[in-house]
Structure 1
Amino acid sequence: MSGRWSEAVRTFGRRSLAGQFLAFQLLVVVVVLGAVAVVSVAQSTNEFRDVRGARMLATAENLASTPVVRDRYADPFAAQALAPEVDRAVALSGAELAEILGPDGLVRASSDPSRLGERTRVGAAETGRAWFGDAEVGGVRSLLAQVPILASDGRVLAIVSVSEPYPSWWALLSGAGERLLLYLGLGAALGMVASWLLSRRIKRHTRGLEIAEIAGLADHREALLHSIREGVVAVNNDGVITVLNDSAQELLGLPDSAVGERVDSVGLESAVVDFLLAGEDDRDVVIATRARVLALNRRSATSAGQDIGTVTTMRDSTELAALQAQLSSHKSATDTLRAQTHEFSNQLHTISGLVQLGEYDAVRAFVDELTQRRAAINDAVTRHISDPAVAALLIAKTTLAAESGVSLQIAEDSHLSPLEPGLATDVITVLGNLVDNAVDVSVGSAQPTVTVRVCDTPGLEISVSDTGPGVPSHLRDSIFARGVTSKPEVAGGRGIGLALVRMVTAQHGGSVEVSDRPGGGAVFTVQLPRTRVGAHA
């Protein structure tokens, strides 16, 4: 039996999704119709018991009050004498059986002569009370009513018993009326039609795929999504995150619970939130968070011609940004050498011309002037900056700034002791990017000047001011996370440089901020904690 049941379950499982749904729906219809039938039978049974019970009790009372019954209930020939009366009671009431019983339950007269002399159940009537209820009569569940015939002193002389068997469930269901059967039939027909139509609709929307195929596709999708090295974030039209793979969680620092939450409520930085909600489609953009530099690309997602949201992919470009910073440093050194080469070439040409003219005193004066100028530049930097790498950077930047017509000055209260190599590298990255930005925005101003202030007590503070147009207050936070497109026609500006400044500063547990310079321009200030500044004596 169990084998056949297992085979039936396997056979059902091999049916199509629409077929299984149709079968389940039909089963539901059958169960509902069965429940309606059970309720209808129960109601008909209760109605039969109440109505027919009262009728049986009235028939028994009427038979018990008949004079001939009261006079001859104990007659030896009571069966023959009272037969007309019990038959009449059966005929008038529609009962199945009418009997006259002795107080002990012995049948003295009955509409069924075969029951004479038998004993039957005597209920509450033996106590002198009339009653009706359920009882087994001749092995059949019947509705039984009994009324006692009492003496003047209250003794029970005889009992009149009238009974009728309960009808079958089909008779009770049929007795509920043709309308009920009609409604049940219509309900079954409509249920089957609706189930068939719904199964067809499900099959159409699932594109004919079955349950196992849908489950396989879902598992395959999840496996692919979470194994992709790039981060993937899907956002619907309401700004709610619907897909977030493992890489995106790591890059954005989000938990699994972020799925189903709004983008602007999970703690993302404002630049990332703005891009996910309103970024430009099909455009690579670099955004710097406090810990990473991310390259993002956003595209709209559609289904059946309807816009359902966006999908954003992201890559970790932190190492690439660091390499870009190193390349920028090398380029700065190269530019410095180029500028110095150009300057030295001009100076050599001048000296050569003076020698050819025999102006040896002028040559000596010219060389002395160049030596003093170079010494002044070196002294202006090394007098305040003792770390050789940082000092070399500032000397090179001074030469480059001069070539662009910008004066690079070191604040008189600057002081920097030698740094650990690792910290010196980060300081060069921060200072180099800040100086480059300051020089770029100062070109063309009335008195183009960049002032650098470096102080290592307490902690390490780097301040770079420029004479450019300044930074509006509403951009002072987003400027450090501004996206830089990979397309060359719009690349440039402050871009990744300031993003690197913030990232390096955050890695040291410090801060960076922008303020206004008195007289116009901007001041970028970097603060690093004292515990992170490792200096040598």
Structure 2
Amino acid sequence: MFSLRALKLKTRMMLILGMMALLQTGFIGLFALFYLSHSLDEQISQRALNVAKTIAAMPAVVEAAEQRDSEYLQPLALDLAEVNDARFVVIGDQNGIRLAHPSWKRVGKPMYDDDGDYNEPALLYGKPYIQKATGSLGATVRGKAPIFDSSSESVVGIVSVGFLLKSVDDIINRYITTLYIVIAVSFSLSVLTGMWFANHFKKAIFGLEPEQIGRLFQERNATLESVREGIIAVNNKGRITTFNRAAVETLGLDANTKLTDRPIEDVLPDSRLMDVLKSGKPHFDKEIWLQDRNLIVNRLPLLQDNEIIGVVSSFRRKDELDAVSKQLTQIQQYADTLRSQSHEYSNKLHTIAGLIQIGATDEALALIGQETQSHQALIHLLVEAVPDPILAGCLLGKYNRAKELGLRLEIDPESSMKQMPDHIPREELVSIIGNLIDNALEATLSNQRLEVKLSMTDLGNDLIFEIEDEGQGIHEEDHSRIFRKGVTTKKGEGHGYGLHLVQKLLQNLGGTILLEPGDTMGSRFTVYIPKQPEDTCIQTSPMRSIRGKFREE
């Protein structure tokens, strides 16, 4: 079965506009023709009646009708018909016998022969009237008026004036021809308009068909609902046009709240979407607090013809991202640990195998005992001092990494990190300590020294970590700027981000970091992380005892 959907948009619009033009012009034309026919009919009928009444009132006609003077009335009737463009003027006496007629043969015969009308309204009651009939002279509309005597008391005759109905039909036919022309022109203009509008419309919708737009709309809605990130879009007036269920859930809004077409500032006063709408500058991976929730937000302006038409924002709760980051961090730490251990033990095994091959069995046994004792001591220390497996795995990995580089990571045997609060994200803590140890190892290696010291304590209200290297140290004038993004004392590209990240993570945790010169050389970084989020006081006495330990050694 034929369907309009099988046609392209341009063809459909041409057909629809063309059919509308045909229906409109056809309806208006039929109405105009009906009204014109009715109007012309009334006008001619009224004209016939008025001419009949005028002739009936002429004194000469009245006198001739009283005298039944056909010789006078016959030529007069012909002249009056010609003057008034009437088909005929017929005059009869009080009995309806013709006194004047366009044909002499019908003079003296009853007027009833022509139209079957006894003319009773005019002859009996003296009332003029209009009649349509088909007589000897054709189909006509007739106006009939009584002729009163000179005293206007009695009817002495009748006047009948007729106009052919064919003249009305001729006029209507001429208008019908004009109507056909108008309909054809309207249809052509509608088709051309449809083509122009369809081209313009398809350009605005990127050449897509309506069905394609419908499918894309459904896909867009399904995509929005399948995305776990919250998405909100506003137009150039700051009113919400698009949102998904994840946005409502992430922001903790009522699921029944109507968001569409509401000002974004009424729903989310601190969203900063209006700032992007005004500036046109996108925001990527911004960490904000909104609706008492910590979110990672992206904001992107929507452009059309280099004009900002709206802004779309995607966001997700930071704790969800932290959970993913935590899992990745754990995997990375485990991988680093395994890689370091594998590399280290591979070297040791090769060495032991070489000693055995050359017959140095005593030296091989001594090396095996040394390695076993050192490794077991480290593991025992970490088990006792650091029950948290993520932090312990990080430290073990850094210890093996130091050995790969030919360095020593000396962990204070009196260290203790048993009271780590659950609210401190382990992946952030590992990132802080890992970056500081990596920097210390690089600084010590570049200065051709051997040892990096780590001490930690959970006594008091803070978690305190101290990392001391044997590098060349950091000049005092650089202490205030070393934590800025991109600032570094190292050569080459790709540096200057680790300490900036450490400071940013510490700010999130409410902690601080202190940079001091080392006891003998290099630098010492001291990290303070409050056990309670609201408590920012720094307990320095435990740290002093740790530093004393290093100094005594």
TM-score of the superposition, structure 1-length normalised? 0.52
CA contact (8 A) 2:280 2:301 kept: no
CA contact (8 A) 2:265 2:271 kept: no
Once the two structures are superposed, the pairs formed by residues 397-408 of structure 1 within 5 Å of their partners are 397-398=460-461, 400-401=463-464
2:21 aligned counterpart, secondary structure: helix
2:215 aligned counterpart, secondary structure: helix
1:464 aligned counterpart, secondary structure: coil
Tell me the distance in 2 between the aligned counterparts of 1:319 and 1:437.
17
Tell me the distance in 2 between the aligned counterparts of 1:119 and 1:262.
81
Structure 1 residue 270: Cα displacement: 1.0
Question: Any stretches of 5+ residues in structure 2 without a counterpart?
Answer: 331-386, 397-409, 424-456, 468-504, 517-525, 539-553
**1:150 alignment partner, one of 148, 151, 163:** 148
CA contact (8 A) 2:62 2:148 kept: no
Structure 1 residue 60: Cα displacement: 1.3
Letter in 1 for 2:48: M
C-alpha distance after superposition, 1:58-113 (max 9, x if no partner) = 431343245664356488x8888854444333222222343346778787765474
Tell me the distance in 2 between the aligned counterparts of 1:33 and 1:436.
74
Once the two structures are superposed, the pairs formed by residues 19-418 of structure 1 within 5 Å of their partners are 19-34=11-26, 37-38=29-30, 41=33, 44-45=36-37, 48=40, 52=44, 55-66=47-58, 69-71=61-63, 73=65, 82-100=73-91, 110-111=101-102, 113=106, 116-117=111-112, 118-119=116-117, 127-130=125-128, 135-138=131-134, 143-151=141-149, 152=151, 154-166=153-165, 167-168=167-168, 171-172=171-172, 174=174, 190-206=189-205, 208-252=207-251, 253=253, 257-265=258-266, 267-268=267-268, 270-271=270-271, 273=273, 277=277, 281=282, 283-290=284-291, 292-303=293-304, 307-321=308-322, 345=414, 396-398=459-461, 400-401=463-464
Structure 1 residue 160: Cα displacement: 1.6
Question: Any stretches of 5+ residues in structure 1 without a counterpart?
Answer: 1-6, 347-373, 375-380, 382-387, 405-432, 455-461, 468-537
CA contact (8 A) 1:232 1:245 kept: yes
Letter in 2 for 1:310: V
**Residue of structure 2 in register with 1:478 after alignment:** none
Letter in 2 for 1:162: V
Letter in 2 for 1:194: T
Letter in 2 for 1:119: D
288 and 109 in structure 1: CA distance in 2 versus 1, 3 angstrom threshold: same
2:258 aligned counterpart, secondary structure: helix
Tell me the distance in 1 between the aligned counterparts of 2:60 and 2:271.
108
C-alpha distance after superposition, 1:468-523 (max 9, x if no partner) = xxxxxxxxxxxxxxxxxxxxxxxxxxxxxxxxxxxxxxxxxxxxxxxxxxxxxxxx
Structure 1 residue 164: Cα displacement: 1.9
1:29 aligned counterpart, secondary structure: helix
In terms of mean alpha carbon deviation, does 324-333 or 136-145 score higher? Answer: 324-333
**Residue of structure 1 in register with 2:9 after alignment:** 17
2:535 aligned counterpart, secondary structure: strand
CA contact (8 A) 2:235 2:311 kept: yes
264 and 60 in structure 1: CA distance in 2 versus 1, 3 angstrom threshold: same
CA contact (8 A) 2:87 2:162 kept: yes
CA contact (8 A) 1:235 1:276 kept: no
Tell me the distance in 1 between the aligned counterparts of 2:82 and 2:217.
74
Structure 1 residue 194: Cα displacement: 3.0
Structure 1 residue 171: Cα displacement: 1.4
128 and 261 in structure 1: CA distance in 2 versus 1, 3 angstrom threshold: same
Structure 1 residue 332: Cα displacement: 11
CA contact (8 A) 1:142 1:164 kept: yes
Tell me the distance in 1 between the aligned counterparts of 2:161 and 2:273.
87
Letter in 2 for 1:198: F
Q: Which structure is higher in RCO with an 8 Å CA cutoff and minimum separation 6?
A: 1
- Alpha-carbon RMSD: 5.5
**Residue of structure 2 in register with 1:440 after alignment:** 512
CA contact (8 A) 1:149 1:160 kept: yes
Tell me the distance in 2 between the aligned counterparts of 1:438 and 1:66.
120
Tell me the distance in 2 between the aligned counterparts of 1:451 and 1:15.
70
Tell me the distance in 2 between the aligned counterparts of 1:396 and 1:325.
26
CA contact (8 A) 1:79 1:110 kept: no
CA contact (8 A) 1:279 1:298 kept: no
1:154 aligned counterpart, secondary structure: coil
CA contact (8 A) 2:293 2:317 kept: yes
CA contact (8 A) 1:240 1:261 kept: yes
Tell me the distance in 1 between the aligned counterparts of 2:213 and 2:101.
73
In terms of mean alpha carbon deviation, does 207-216 or 241-250 score higher? Answer: 207-216
CA contact (8 A) 2:238 2:263 kept: yes
C-alpha distance after superposition, 1:161-202 (max 9, x if no partner) = 223244446614747999x99888766654443344334434
Letter in 2 for 1:92: V
Tell me the distance in 1 between the aligned counterparts of 2:537 and 2:139.
108
107 and 260 in structure 1: CA distance in 2 versus 1, 3 angstrom threshold: farther
CA contact (8 A) 2:276 2:300 kept: no
* Higher alpha-carbon Rg: 2
C-alpha distance after superposition, 1:279-300 (max 9, x if no partner) = 9636223334345443332334
CA contact (8 A) 1:70 1:149 kept: yes
292 and 435 in structure 1: CA distance in 2 versus 1, 3 angstrom threshold: closer
Structure 1 residue 153: Cα displacement: 5.5
Tell me the distance in 2 between the aligned counterparts of 1:243 and 1:14.
31
In terms of mean alpha carbon deviation, does 434-443 or 199-208 score higher? Answer: 434-443
107 and 285 in structure 1: CA distance in 2 versus 1, 3 angstrom threshold: farther
19 and 57 in structure 1: CA distance in 2 versus 1, 3 angstrom threshold: same
CA contact (8 A) 2:240 2:260 kept: yes
Structure 1 residue 331: Cα displacement: 9.3
C-alpha distance after superposition, 1:343-376 (max 9, x if no partner) = 6559xxxxxxxxxxxxxxxxxxxxxxxxxxx9xx
Structure 1 residue 30: Cα displacement: 2.9
CA contact (8 A) 1:281 1:300 kept: yes
CA contact (8 A) 2:286 2:297 kept: yes
164 and 325 in structure 1: CA distance in 2 versus 1, 3 angstrom threshold: same
